[in-house]
Structure 1
Amino acid sequence: MSCRELVETITEYLEGSLPRADLDRFESHLQICDGCRHYLSQMKTTVAALRSLCDDRLQAAQRDELVNLFHGWKRG
C-alpha cells in the first residue's frame, strides 16, 4: 500500500470497516512508514477531540449529515 492509498482508506480503518485484505496492507504499511504512523496518530487525536466536542451538542440527524458531507467531499 502506498501513502496515498493509506490516506484514502484511513476513514474506513478508523471506522473498522476496511476489508480484511486492505487492513493487512494498511497495517503492513504502517510498520514501515513513520509518516503514515504519525498521520494516523493525528487523525485519531482529531477524531477523539471532535467526538468530545460534538457528542453533546449535535443531534443525531446533524451528525449524520456532517458524516455524509465528509464522505461526499472525500469521494470528490
Structure 2
Amino acid sequence: MDELVCQDLVELVTDYLEGALGPAETARVQRHLSTCDGCTAYVDQARAAVRASAALPPELPSAQAEAQLLDIFRTWAGQRDR
C-alpha cells in the first residue's frame, strides 16, 4: 500500500479520530504521523477541538432559526427529487 501524504491525512482525520478506519488505513495514518510533525500537530489540534466542543453546553436553535433551516432543507430536498 502506498504511503500517505499530508493532504490524504487531512481528509481522513475525522474517521481516524472516530476509530472508523480499517486496520490497514489506521496503520497508514499512524506511520505518517510517526514521521510528520506538521500532521501530528494537526491531529492534536483536532483532538483538542473535539474535547473543547464536547465540553460546551448544548444550545438549541431559536424557533425562527429552526423554521428557516427546515425551509432550506425542504427546498433542497424538493430540488433533489427532480
TM-score (normalizing by structure 1): 0.70
Pick aligned residue for 2:14 from 8, 11, 14: 11
Q: 1: distance between equivalents of 2:5 and 2:28?
A: 9
Instruction: Name the structure 2 match of 1:52.
Output: 55
Separation (CA, whole Å) in 2 of partners of 1:15 and 1:58: 23
Partner SS for 1:57: coil
Deviation at 1:19, TM superposition (A): 1.1
The structure that has the greater radius of gyration is 2
User: CA 1:18–1:58 in 2, change beyond 3 Å: closer, same or farther?
Assistant: farther
Q: How many angstroms apart in 2 are the aligned matches of 1:29 and 1:49? A: 25
Structure number with higher helix proportion: 1
AA at the equivalent of 1:10:
V
Aligned counterpart in structure 2 of residue 26 of structure 1, from 29, 50, 74:
29
Q: Name the % identity.
A: 40
Tell me the residue number matched to 1:65: none
In the alignment, which residue of structure 1 is the partner of 2:78?
none
* One of 1, 5, 10 as aligned partner of 1:2: 5
SS at match of 1:37: helix
CA distance in 1 between partners of 2:58 and 2:28 (Å): 37
Q: Helix, strand or coil for the counterpart of 1:42?
A: helix
Superposed displacement of residue 58, structure 1: 4.9
Q: Where has structure 1 moved over 3 Å in runs of 4 or more? A: none
